[in-house]
Chains A and B, each alone.
Chain A
Amino acid sequence: MKFGGTSVATLPRWQNILELVASRRAEGARVLVVVSALTGVTDALKQLCAQGEPGKRSEAAKAIAQRHYDLLDHMQLAMPDTLGERLGDLAKLAGEGPAMLGELAWQAQVQAHGELMSSALGAAFLSHSGLPTQWLDARDCLAAIALPNQNERTRLLSSMVEAKADPALNARLAALGEVFITQGFIARESKGRTVLLGRGGSDTSAAYFGALLKAQRVEIWTDVAGMFTANPRQVPGARLLQRLDYEEAQEIASTGAKVLHPRCLSPLREPRVPLLIKDTNRPELEGTVIGPEVRAHAPSVKAISARKGITLVSMESVGMWQQVGFLADVFAHFKQHGLSVDLIGSAETNVTVSLDPTENLLDSDAIAALASDLAKVCRVKVIAPCAAITLVGRGMRSLLHTLSGVLAEFGQLRVHMISQSSNNLNLTFVVDEEVVDTLLPHLHDLLIAAGALRTDDSALFGPSWQTLYGSGGAPDTVAAWWREAERQQLLELAAETTPRYVYHLPTVRKQARALKSLAAVDRLHYAVKANTHPAILRALAAEGFAFECVSPGELEAVGAIVPESVPLLFTPNFAPCADYVLALGTRATVTLDALYPLEHWGELFRGREIVLRVDLGRGLGHHEKVRTGGSGSKFGLPLDQLAIFLQLAETHGVTVRGLHAHLGSGVLDAGHWGEVYVQLASLAERIGSVAFLNIGGGLGVPSHPGEAPLDIAELDRVLREVKAAYPQYQLWMEPGRYLVADAGVLLARVTQQKGKGAFRYLGIDTGMNSLIRPALYDAWHEIVNLSRLDEPATALYQVVGPICESGDVLGTDRRLPEAQEGDVMLIAQAGAYGKVMSSHYNLRAEADEIVIE
């Protein structure tokens, strides 16, 4: 059991260790505890080493000793002899300085004291607390080996141990007791000097001991429950990886995960000792088990990671083709300038390599010198800053077919290099660094949606980081309205006829009130394109919403329902001139998003106040077809045409009263609207006449179980912050899907079933004619068998409709109870873009609409 620096720094944490060790003893195991130095002590010892004056060194040693005295005080323990001796040694070493031992050997000796002291202290505490614990000097067990490439520095400060099973050590310990404590990070070399194991050294020590003793397992106790499918700081929805093999774990550790140093897995591989990562504060969580065993399961991507700060060097030459030794010459230059190559891609006339960020790369002229040398033999291009996005999983090549949707995402980006590792464990894309922060969470979602990351396999994938550690508490605590409260009524409605849409107005009101809690927002418009049912329009008008329409038809529908006093917004796109003529005859505020209307119909707008929709140059959203920003999208005025637009407005006496941008739909990151808001505000400051900013909608509604909902409190905070900086502008929003998606369901009945190869198809009486989102956007809708909600989900179905299209699939690979003809199936989250996008295709009867007040 290994415990890191923060785990050994305070009394409560030691009490925690005591409990954990005692619980392992209770299971009958003999325990060896490996500890790091108290947090901060190793750094303090390094600073002591860098100090030239003996007086200051002694002072530093005293300060370090005081840390240990303080902790002993808290433990109400007397100074144990073992620790006293160590403190004495440290004081002596600090006083003497490096002269006697030699600089590096002295440094190693000094720095080793962090662990020697913490372990001595721990032995005293555990023994005193009723758990007799033997102190073991790690240097008597771990013998460092000399390697051909080592210099004196690496030999002493970054050493390696060959950890072969050592039955003699086992026998020696068996004679001494049941519980031991020893030091991480240190070993001894053949001349008897103390050496250090370098970065990640304590984890590596634990692994060496595991191998030497052929332990039942090695447990690394740390501040997080294990390895995740992505860095939780970048992807809060990342899932805990409960089971990995050594190679996968090593690959994940090498490509970004910080929880474990990649070095510490190799000693365990041959003796097949499993390693378990556990959270010290949450021992009840399962953690990650890394072992030899590859259980039979579907191949899956295990993790996605990103490393930033990558520099690429691309070398182009016709001279290299079939020329012996060209690459050797090229790589010799990298070695000469101290640059270590990571990824390599080669073609007949080009070799491109990647360099990881190092101080040498950033602050010396190494790159300039390298490029000068290389320029003599080839054309060189230095490409940076890049990021390497890596998918890790065993058998990556056999997973490629599942990745098509994921790969499509790279279509919009500059991909500088693709590398598929020769061990078939990873697939790496090198892209521009700036896209990574938004891309990574998105790719993680896509991997799940594409079935490449099989989070449905609960043996491999645990809960999300958000669920385990997120501030908002576990999402999905409130059961959907249809699951219990209204289930019976829905079954009765379905018995009358199907297919039919059912809308639950209390849910619409609940969502509306959530948005009304956004204090910074001055006016909320319901984007009626999501659902124009009169009952929904009436409910939202009653909640005080204004309305956003995109066509004369919508204006007419809204005009017929809502009171005269309710403000309207008309935001069409590529609309004919007549639409503007019509809209200008209503009370609606008109939005323009191109030069054309002012260029060609300018006088139509004379004396009017309009809103300008701009394109801030990039898009966001859950699918390419719902992204509405960036040159690839038809919406908005590009910023480089803004000056011309303003001139045209001036010419025609048109006042730009509002600025609008809307980047996409299904966005779950609160920071997004803050960015749009700030960018609009800084544009507005240059226009003068602007009084309000419309930051659009696109508020995401999570569709997958366990996905975190949009954090409204965080959105409120972000918007308030921007508002405080730009108080002169009113803030408008125009949400659509957020208000109505969860309020609607589509009811259908089972028609037929079919088995085909490994697939089982479950037919229902409506499909893409009623709900086109799965076919159009790959949208994921939860599907349940409402007739058998309480039965075990044992079948794996492809849920399909009756339309003559291969794409008429509502859900793939759904775990559902065995179904019968006539069962009522419910498709959730169908309140937005359901009925309004339905069609008569195949001349199938339309779904009707029912409202639950």
Chain B
Amino acid sequence: MALEKVLVSNMIQPRLTQLFRFVRCSYADGVAELAYAFDDGEELVERVRFPNAPVVPATHAAAFEAALKLLHLIAGVSYYKAGVPPKIEVASGPLDDATAELLDQLYLHGLAEFAYRNGLDLRGRIVFPRGAAAQPLAPAAGLPKRTLVPIGGGKDSLVAVEAIKSIGGEATAVWVGSSALIAACAERTGLPTLNIQRELAPGLFELNRLGAWNGHIPVTAVNSAILAVAAILYGYDSIAFANERSASAATLEYDGQQVNHQWSKGYAFEQLLGNWLHTHVASDLDYCSLLRPYSELAITRAFAKLTPYFDVFSSCNRNFKLLGPKPADRWCGQCPKCHFVFLALAPFLPKPRLLSIFGRNLLDDENQASGFDALLEYQDHKPFECVGEGAEARAAMYALSQRPEWQEDALVARFHSEILPQLDASQLALEPWLEPSAEHHVPARLQPALATIG
């Protein structure tokens, strides 16, 4: 039996703090150290470990420095939110306007759901120090023509991987943190892999125990900044995320503010960060989402053809850290992600195949009614998860209600008898959702991959 340790050393009251400080950041031997502090409290040091890191070439030193600094500023959101103090200080001095604007936007919108859940109003509270002179535009770094593709274990990144493979593009499957699920998916892609480790400052857990604010943070932004550092370090000219169109839609509006659970997966952030990297890091480093023009339904249709991934992938947000062989070890069957992916794949897969992926039939389980109602935006607002738009879910459900092999299932039958009569059937067609939109930020080199998805 290990000795008991009671971790109460520092008696700071996180919610009463007045100042959040970006103390310093440094990099050596594959490890980036990012230090933060509240008021005059102890430093909170986060470490990001880059495996088998090469030496940063002198020609890339400035680009690397800029990317590392951005990572420091963005990763701070995990700590800032513990206290949400009224003042932010950057020890290395004020930021130029473009950088301050990026961070003001990210912290305000990326923490909007957090603020809503905790009854906080962050408008006017988040002000990064600005006023430094704008830097000259970053030159091209001559980065090799290859792509970092972040893998999440879910369907979207696998569709992106296959799109790049289909045009013969060179790519590496990358993920941040330990996840047996993601490792299994990454291995199944057949691509080279890169696993970066992020170690949160241990002091953060202690702050949580002392009553810190808690909630959702824009983790995609943090991962994006980590990958920007990795792209310069290892040499990649592009980072291709797999964020789809509906990620840009707000989850709800609250007190005049748009709240989007997945703001950092949205188009606004993609453009902000993409442009910032061009001007501040390297003009030839592209940051984009390969799935941006597509709806969830268009993506699930593409994924439905990727049979080899069916027994390894999962979009479920629970039970991610350990895996067993059964579907129930990958899909909890209770959360909005499980509900949505089940519903969105259903029109495109033979029913027995879909049910074998999930190990059960979520649409024939009356206990799941309220979960599916939330997806359909029926009697409830959209759930705080990365799921498609309500109209998209309604189109998928409508398609199933017209199929004999589905229409007797409890929730499909309920949709047909209770919900459908209240809807305008002309708005329920599946086909329009399968059309790509024009909006995307994909660089010319990867545009042929974009076309293979639709």
The residues of A with any CB-CB pair to B shorter than 8 Å are 309, 311, 314, 357, 361-368, 370-372, 374-375, 379-385, 432-434, 437, 516, 518-524, 544, 639, 655, 657, 671, 674, 678-679, 681-682, 686-689, 691, 721-722, 725-726, 728, 730
Contacts and interface: CB of A to CB of B under 8 A. Distances in A.
Contacts of A385: 352, 355-356, 359-361
Contacts of B209: 657, 688-689, 691
B245 to A, nearest CB: 28
A367 B178 CA distance: 39
B11 interface: no
B438 interface: no
A331 B266 CA distance: 51
B165 interface: no
B208 A362 contact: no
A382 B1 contact: no
B424 interface: no
B359 A433 contact: yes
30 contacts: A311-B355, A314-B408, A357-B352, A357-B356, A361-B350, A362-B352, A363-B353, A368-B351, A368-B404, A374-B404, A375-B404, A379-B408, A380-B404, A381-B409, A382-B351, A382-B352, A382-B405, A382-B408, A384-B356, A385-B352, A385-B361, A434-B327, A434-B328, A519-B1, A519-B2, A544-B1, A657-B209, A671-B324, A682-B321, A689-B211
Given A383-B364, A384-B355, A371 B2 contact: no
Contact of B350 (A314, A368, A725): A368
A381 B351 CA distance: 12
B64 to A, nearest CB: 31
Interface string B216-239: 000000000000000000000000
Given A367-B405, A371-B405, A433-B360, A523 B319 contact: no
B379 interface: no
Contacts of B405: 367-368, 370-372, 380, 382
Nearest to A361: B352
B213 to A, nearest CB: 9
A361 B334 CA distance: 27
A380 B405 CA distance: 7
B326 A437 contact: yes
Nearest to B200: A728
B11 to A, nearest CB: 15
Given A362-B353, A383-B364, A385-B359, 13 more contacts: A362-B352, A375-B404, A380-B405, A381-B408, A382-B351, A382-B408, A384-B355, A433-B360, A518-B1, A687-B214, A688-B212, A689-B208, A691-B7
B1 A363 contact: no
Contact of A372 (B7, B212, B404): B404
Nearest to B356: A385
Contact of A721 (B322, B351, B406): B322
Contacts, number: 119
B403 interface: yes
B350 A363 contact: yes
Contacts of B334: 639
Chain B binding surface SS class: loop
B403 A368 contact: yes
A160 B307 CA distance: 35
B4 interface: yes
Given A371-B405, A372-B404, A382-B405, A678 B360 contact: no
Nearest 5 A/B pairs, CB to CB: A371-B405, A375-B404, A381-B408, A371-B404, A688-B208
Given A434-B359, A521-B1, A688-B214, A380 B318 contact: no
A523 B205 contact: no
B307 A363 contact: yes
A681 B327 CA distance: 20
Interface of B: 1-2, 4-5, 7, 178, 205, 208-209, 211-212, 214, 307, 318-322, 324, 326-328, 334, 350-353, 355-356, 359-361, 364, 403-406, 408-409
Nearest to B117: A643
A760 B68 CA distance: 84
Contacts of B205: 728
A524 B1 contact: yes
Contacts of A522: 1-2, 4
A244 B364 CA distance: 41
A516 B1 contact: yes
Contacts of A314: 408
Nearest to A437: B326
Given A433-B359, A433-B360, A689-B211, A725 B404 contact: no
B366 to A, nearest CB: 11
B78 to A, nearest CB: 13
Nearest to B307: A363
B177 to A, nearest CB: 10
A4 to B, nearest CB: 26
B430 to A, nearest CB: 15
Contacts of B322: 674, 678, 721-722, 725
B403 to A, nearest CB: 7
Contacts of B178: 725
B21 to A, nearest CB: 22
Nearest to B321: A725
Contacts of B211: 655, 689
A418 to B, nearest CB: 19
Contacts of A678: 319, 321-322
Nearest to A543: B1
A384 B363 CA distance: 11
A364 B350 contact: yes
A523 B360 contact: no
Contacts of A375: 404
B319 A679 contact: yes
A679 B333 CA distance: 14
A128 B212 CA distance: 81
A311 B321 CA distance: 31
Nearest to B333: A434
Given A523-B4, A725-B178, A367 B359 contact: no
Contacts of A523: 1, 4
Contacts of B350: 361-368
A674 B321 CA distance: 12
Contacts of B326: 434, 437
A538 B200 CA distance: 43
Nearest to A677: B322
Nearest to A722: B322
A365 to B, nearest CB: 6
Contacts of B1: 516, 518-519, 521-524, 544
Contacts of A544: 1
A781 to B, nearest CB: 31
A364 B324 CA distance: 28
A432 B360 contact: yes
A655 B208 CA distance: 11
B56 to A, nearest CB: 31
Contacts of B409: 381-382
Nearest to A674: B322
Contacts of B356: 309, 357, 362, 384-385
Contacts of B321: 678, 681-682, 725-726
A653 to B, nearest CB: 10
Contacts of B406: 382
Contacts of A518: 1
A384 B352 contact: yes
B310 to A, nearest CB: 10
Contact of B352 (A311, A432, A728): A311
A520 to B, nearest CB: 8
A367 B351 contact: yes
Contacts of A688: 208-209, 212, 214
Nearest to A671: B324
A375 to B, nearest CB: 4
Contacts of B307: 363
Contacts of B351: 367-368, 382, 384
A681 B319 CA distance: 9
A434 B360 CA distance: 7
